Structures are given as structure tokens and as C-alpha cells.
């Protein structure tokens, strides 16, 4: 009996083992110019239109561009007391987070006119949806699921990698049944299982914005990766950063493969 105990313990440990996240690099397939002075906090592509949430005290905006041409279609300036954060489109409505005001703003998607405001319990950072529920981050290691009809949080998950919490989850995007999240102040995107909260993939995007493409007057604090959008038309994945001059369409490359090329 005693001799079999170590084996049982070993089997238990193996059954509870945390799978290591797949590591990825990237290859740039295409780039598009992005309008200047867009302090990207949220990004989404729907029906050939690019939606962007641009943050900042006294200068937060909600923007819609023609994705093919980059031409600005609609711009909505926000209350100077609000700092815009993540956004997502679900059905005929667009949802936009605010940072510290504890508000989730709801717009008519067609003309971006305001419809209502929903209360959230804390800060708003990133926002996406799974086709039914809204999913948002608050800068912690947790993601919250909201029923847009009931105006309430239905569940929350804790995001972990190798058994450790992952904090500063920022801009979000739902891609192929997984949640992609920028990790603020890093050049990293993590791919999260929405059921377990486990990080299943990690994308290293260092060097995405080359030095020669950075505006001469760029504030170092703005040189931050932030913005993920999947184009439903072709499945292309586009990423950018705060006040970056370009959007980049990327392809994931397993880390053991050759380094990224342009």
C-alpha cells in the first residue's frame, strides 16, 4: 500500500499539469496607413469598415473608416470627462468602454448615435464579444462576460499562464473561439481559452513598428502595442499600437521556425 502511494501522487500531478503555451513569432504580410493621432484603445473590422476607439482626456473619439481606402466616414467626439477604451460591434449595436467612469456606452451601429449607458463595477480596458455576450477586461487578471440584454455580468474567468496570473490584459479580440489580448506595456499578445482562462498561445511582436516608421514626435509612452482586429471577409489579422502610423496584417510563425521577415 505504502509503496503504491508515490505512483498515485505522480499520476495526480500529471493529470493536473498545466500545458505550456505555444510560442509564436510573426511575419508581416501587408501594412496599411492609419490616420494620424488615433490613440488606439479599441479596434474592430466589420463589413468592410474599420472602427477605432481613440483615448485621451478631452480628446477621446469614436471613429469609423472605410477599411479599403482608409477614408474617415464618421467621427463622434466624446464628453471631455470620459477616456475611451475598448470597443466591439454586436448585431446592430456598437459598445465602447470608458476607463475610470465605470460606464459602457452603447451606440446605434449605422450612424454611431448614442442609445444608452450601462454600469460596470470598475475600470474598462479591452472589449470584444463571442457572438452572444460581451467580454471585457479591467487591467487585472480577470475577464468578465456581460449579457447585453440583461445588463449584468454572467461570469468571470481568471487568466493564467503556466499556473500564474496574467495581468494588464488590454485590447481584446475574439478569434476562432479564443480571446486574443494585448498585454499592456509589452510587445506580447496572449491567446486565452474562454472556458478555462488558460493562456494557450503567446505571440512575440517585438520589432513590429520599425524605428524608421516611428513619427519623429512620438511620445515614448505611446510606442505601445495595442489593437487587434480580425477581418471577417478573409480572416486576416491586423494589429497596431497607440498613435502608430500603420496597421499590420500578420501571420503567426511557430517560435522554433525562422524569425519574422518582411
Domain residue extents for the chain: 22-254
47 CB-near residues (< 8 Å, 6+ apart): 232
| Helices (H), ranges, 72-204 | none
* CATH of region 22-254: 2.120.10.30
pLDDT at 9: 39
| Buried b / exposed e along 114-125 (16+ C-beta atoms within 10 A) | eeeebebeebbb
pLDDT at residue 5 in the model: 40
78 dihedral zone (left: phi>0; alpha: psi -120 to 50; beta): beta
Provide the whole-model pTM: 0.89
Per-residue pLDDT of the chain (262 residues; tens, 9 = 90+): 334 444 433 334 434 445 789 999 999 999 999 998 899 999 999 999 999 999 999 999 999 999 999 999 999 999 999 999 999 999 999 999 999 999 999 999 999 999 999 999 999 999 999 999 999 999 999 999 999 999 999 999 999 999 999 999 999 999 999 999 999 999 999 999 999 999 999 999 999 988 667 766 666 666 789 999 999 999 999 999 999 999 999 999 999 754 444 4
Grid cell, residue 221, equals 509612452
DSSP-derived secondary structure letter, 76: E
pLDDT tens-digit map of 115-157: 999 999 999 999 999 999 999 999 999 999 999 999 999 999 9
Of 128, 119, 74, residue with least CA distance to 98? 119
Nearest to 156 by CA among 138, 142, 172, 170: 142
Q: How many CB atoms lie within 10 A of CB 136?
A: 27
Predicted local confidence at residue 256, as pLDDT: 72
pLDDT at 211: 63
Amino acid at each position: 500500500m505504502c509503496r503504491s502511494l508515490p505512483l498515485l501522487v505522480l499520476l495526480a500531478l500529471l493529470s493536473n499539469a498545466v500545458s505550456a503555451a505555444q510560442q509564436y513569432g510573426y511575419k508581416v504580410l501587408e501594412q496599411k496607413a492609419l490616420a494620424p493621432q488615433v490613440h488606439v484603445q479599441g479596434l474592430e473590422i466589420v463589413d468592410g469598415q474599420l472602427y477605432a476607439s481613440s483615448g485621451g482626456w478631452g480628446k477621446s473619439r469614436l471613429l469609423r473608416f472605410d477599411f479599403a481606402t482608409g477614408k474617415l466616414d464618421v467621427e463622434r467626439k466624446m464628453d471631455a470627462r470620459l477616456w475611451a477604451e475598448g470597443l466591439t460591434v454586436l448585431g446592430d449595436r456598437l459598445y465602447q468602454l470608458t476607463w475610470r467612469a465605470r460606464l459602457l456606452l452603447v451606440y446605434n451601429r449605422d450612424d454611431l448615435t448614442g442609445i444608452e449607458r450601462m454600469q460596470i463595477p470598475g475600470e474598462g480596458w479591452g472589449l470584444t464579444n463571442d457572438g452572444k455576450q460581451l467580454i471585457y477586461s479591467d487591467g487585472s487578471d480577470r475577464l468578465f462576460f456581460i449579457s447585453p440584454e440583461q445588463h449584468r455580468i454572467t461570469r468571470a474567468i481568471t487568466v493564467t499562464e503556466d499556473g500564474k496570473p496574467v495581468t494588464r490584459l488590454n485590447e481584446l479580440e475574439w478569434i476562432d473561439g479564443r480571446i486574443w489580448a494585448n498585454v499592456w506595456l509589452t510587445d506580447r499578445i496572449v491567446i486565452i481559452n474562454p472556458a478555462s482562462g488558460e493562456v494557450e498561445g503567446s505571440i512575440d511582436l517585438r520589432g513590429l513598428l520599425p524605428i524608421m516608421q516611428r513619427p519623429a514626435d512620438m511620445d515614448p509612452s505611446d510606442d505601445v502595442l495595442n489593437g487587434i482586429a480580425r477581418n471577417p471577409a478573409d480572416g486576416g489579422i491586423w494589429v497596431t499600437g497607440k498613435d502608430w502610423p500603420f496597421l499590420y496584417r500578420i501571420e503567426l510563425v511557430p517560435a522554433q521556425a525562422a524569425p519574422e521577415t518582411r
